[in-house]
Structure 1
Amino acid sequence: MSEQKQVLEEDSSKRIDKWLSDHLEDVSRAQVQQWIREHHVSVNSKHVKSNYKIQAGDIVEWSIPEVKPATIEKENIPLSIIYEDEDLLVVNKPVGMVVHPSAGHYSGTLVNALLYHCNDLSGINGVERPGIVHRIDKDTSGLLMVAKNDKAHQHLAEQLQDKEVERTYEAIAHGVIPHDHGTIDAPIGRDPKERQRMAVTQEGKEAVTHFTVEKRFADFTHLTCKLETGRTHQIRVHMRYIEHPLAGDPKYGPRKTLPLPGQALHAKTLTFTHPANGEKLHFTVQPPEHFQDCLRQLEEAY
């Protein structure tokens, strides 16, 4: 299946490899260059080199084969483990780490690191996503629960489905949000105009995000978001929908933003019931240093 997109005036004269890697989430520039060499990318129906400068009106088309590795390699990658027992782990995922292998990301993922760390992970999601009950985006940091066996995985997945898992995120959004509290109840599905993105659509699945304003600055708002559902890119899409996109978001936000390595979004708290003993578990981790530096700079400027 191929995708295509017309180049906008504001993107004119950009290198094709840079433009496409910025456009495709979780895909590196090196991977795009490989696709270009293998003729999976064309401009105006013609194959080009990685240094081709795109022009306004160009039609860029790409078709990436889903080549899947036979096995996922164990990799000795440092992990920030917040909690671990025989049934599960809770990890603090850093910005820039993909959760599980996919096209263009066969190594360096959280799953590669988990396989090195422990021998037993649940197999419900198959060989490419062992132990992964839920995920967060590559450039979102914070807490994830990981199942070590199928029984724990099923129990945790049921809690998510039944909306019994509590997840809160810290975020920085563009603009000044006037309401101290709010709920965004808007269904999310694939963007019909751009299949690489999600959007609020009538045909989408139920999506509910609650937010609380923590601090207002001149042009930004620091807020806490609580997920009631867990759709792909939910907070990012909902904040764009109410015209307060997240700072640093390359897919849903404006180009002029804060100096961040990705969207200003951090999975700060996670609360769920232990699948074996029924104990209520609650975890909190502070945002990474670049997120906190950004808040300090906004405070000083304000």
Structure 2
Amino acid sequence: MSIRERLWVEADDDGARLDRWLTESLQDLGYDVSRSQVQDWLAEGRVRADRTRLKASDRVQAGEGYEVDIPDPEPIVLAGEDIPLNVVHEDDDVVVIDKPRGLVVHPAAGHWQGTLVNALIGRGTRLSSLGGDFRPGVVHRIDKDTSGLLVLAKSDRAYHSLAAQLRAHSVQREYLAIAHGRLTHDRGLIDAPIGRDPKNRQRMAVTEGGKPAITHFEVVERFERYTYLRLRLETGRTHQIRVHLAYTGHPLAGDPVYGPRHTLPIEGQALHAHTLGFVHPATQIWLSFTSPLPADMAGLLSRLRDRVL
């Protein structure tokens, strides 16, 4: 069985690569597809147009129509896995994790296994189902290549409470980061709306029609070509700190998407969720947790102070 979608190329998309345009068009319709999946469908003949043969690198033209046969997804079972975790706090309602860099928070296209959620299920942790089939208990996330603290809901009341606190911007979320360049202001805020990048739907960007996004920053230490920062999120948009710093001309060191090619030697962006605070959903007591800087970032700072980098 499959679903057939008919897609038309608009004037703004004239000249785009076929595989990228198809991926972004299907994502706009709500399909959870990746570019590699679309490339497979092209190779399998699941995409048809007036042209007899289609290649991923073809360029689309305004007014063209394409038919895509989307296969039914194979059923996926959310399974527990034996993955070590640093559990900072756990009770009947919440579990706070200090996530290492490189670990994905929950299963999604391209990462159906080996995630933080799989690890929690593997250790027998019961999570609220309110986040969805593959996001149980997940009320907020940090990127795969960002390290540090996040909280997951074990009970439904905890999920509702934490989600409400996030909407009210009352959850304390502070990050430590190393950015390119020397910021001239000691402190300040970046108030710029964030939405999908109209030129690349896989990225986020500061856009006129984006959602409100505010990031507070404070300089901790300056180096010759880098700045060590403390940042506080007032809102929590996708890739917010990464996008905001790139927008100011000071992208995160090591950021593979928003940063420069020549950067500091670190696997992923130099960003660490350092402090997390919230009101406990059951006791109504304020809880606050702090995670020490990971070894990779601490090593970079040491080498910057020694002027080795």
TM (normalized to structure 1)? 0.81
In the alignment, what sits opposite 2:203?
Answer: 197
User: Which string of whole-angstrom CA distances, capped at 9 and with x for unpartnered residues, describes residues 148-180 of structure 1?
Assistant: 011111001100100110100000000000110
2:239 counterpart letter in structure 1? H
Shift in Å, 1:103:
0.7
Could you tell me how far apart the structure 1 residues matched to 2:16 and 2:227 are?
A: 32
Shift in Å, 1:65:
7.6
Give the fraction of aligned pairs with identical amino acids, expressed as a percent: 53
Change (3 A) 1:94 1:39: farther
Change (3 A) 1:239 1:118: same
What do you get for the CA RMSD once the two structures are aligned? 3.0
Q: Secondary structure at the match of 2:117?
A: helix
Could you tell me how far apart the structure 1 residues matched to 2:130 and 2:91 are?
A: 19
Shift in Å, 1:118:
2.8
In the alignment, what sits opposite 1:95?
Answer: 101
Q: Is the 8 A contact 2:103 2:116 kept in 1?
A: yes
Q: Is the 8 A contact 1:41 1:47 kept in 2?
A: no
Equivalent residue for 1:242, pick from 248, 254, 257: 248
Change (3 A) 1:129 1:91: same
Equivalent residue for 2:156, pick from 150, 174, 179: 150
Gaps of 5+ in 2: 8-12, 18-33, 46-52, 61-67
In the alignment, what sits opposite 2:49?
Answer: none
Shift in Å, 1:88:
0.6
TM (normalized to structure 2)? 0.79
Change (3 A) 1:38 1:165: same
In the alignment, what sits opposite 2:187?
Answer: 181
Q: Is the 8 A contact 1:167 1:267 kept in 2?
A: yes
In the alignment, what sits opposite 1:15?
Answer: none
Could you tell me how far apart the structure 1 residues matched to 2:145 and 2:71 are?
A: 24
Q: Is the 8 A contact 1:272 1:282 kept in 2?
A: yes
State how 1:25-104 maps to structure 2 within 5 Å.
39=42, 47=55, 67=73, 69-104=75-110
2:143 counterpart letter in structure 1? D
Q: Is the 8 A contact 1:83 1:90 kept in 2?
A: yes
Shift in Å, 1:115:
0.9
In the alignment, what sits opposite 2:303?
Answer: 297
Gaps of 5+ in 1: 7-30, 49-53
Equivalent residue for 2:281, pick from 250, 275, 279: 275
1:291 counterpart letter in structure 2? M
